[in-house]
Homo-oligomer: A and B are copies of this chain.
Amino acid sequence: MEGVNQLKNQKYAADIDSIKEAHTRISPFIHKTPVLSSTSLDSISGKQLFFKCECFQKGGAFKIRGASNAIFSLEDDQAAKGVVTHSSGNHAAAISLAAKLRGIPAYVVIPKNAPACKVENVRRYGGQVIWSEATMQSRESTATAVQQRTGANLIHPFNDKRIISGQGTISLELLEQVPDLDTIIVPISGGGLISGVTLAAKSINPSIRVLAAEPMGADDAARSKLFGRLITLSDTNTIADGLRAFLGDLTPVVRDLVDDVVVLDENEIIKAMRLCYEVLKLAVEPSGAIGLAAILSDQCKQKSYWKDMKKIAIVLSGGNVDLGVLWESLK
Contact = CB atoms under 8 A, between A and B. Distances in A.
Interface string A106-121: 0000000000010000
A60 interface: yes
Given A274-B323, A323-B274, A60 B281 contact: yes
Interface string A315-328: 00001000100110
Nearest to A327: B327
A204 interface: no
Contact of A319 (B274, B281, B330): B281
A282 B321 CA distance: 12
B323 A327 contact: yes
**Max chain B C-beta neighbours (<10 A), residue from A34, A282, A284:** A282
A310 B323 CA distance: 32
Interface in A24-77: 34, 36, 39, 53, 55-56, 58, 60
Contacts of A282: 281-283
A306 interface: no
Contacts of A323: 274, 277-278, 326-327, 330
17 contacts: A39-B58, A55-B281, A56-B281, A60-B281, A274-B323, A277-B323, A278-B283, A278-B323, A280-B283, A281-B283, A281-B284, A281-B319, A282-B282, A282-B283, A323-B327, A323-B330, A327-B327
A125 to B, nearest CB: 11
Contact of A56 (B36, B117, B277, B326): B36
Contacts of A278: 117, 283, 323
Interface in A285-331: 319, 323, 326-327, 330
A330 to B, nearest CB: 6
A55 B282 CA distance: 9
A284 B327 CA distance: 16
A275 to B, nearest CB: 11
Contacts of A327: 323, 326-327
Nearest to A55: B281
A265 B73 CA distance: 48
A53 B278 CA distance: 15
A51 to B, nearest CB: 11
Given A117-B278, A283-B283, A323-B330, 14 more contacts: A36-B56, A39-B58, A53-B281, A55-B281, A56-B281, A277-B283, A277-B323, A278-B283, A281-B283, A281-B284, A282-B282, A282-B283, A323-B327, A327-B327
A53 B280 CA distance: 12
Contacts of A274: 323
Contacts of A58: 39
A94 to B, nearest CB: 15
**Max chain B C-beta neighbours (<10 A), residue from A34, A281, A283, A327:** A281
Return the 4 tightest CB-CB contacts between A and B, nearest first: A281-B319, A327-B327, A281-B283, A55-B281
Interface string A205-246: 000000000000000000000000000000000000000000
A262 to B, nearest CB: 24
A301 to B, nearest CB: 23
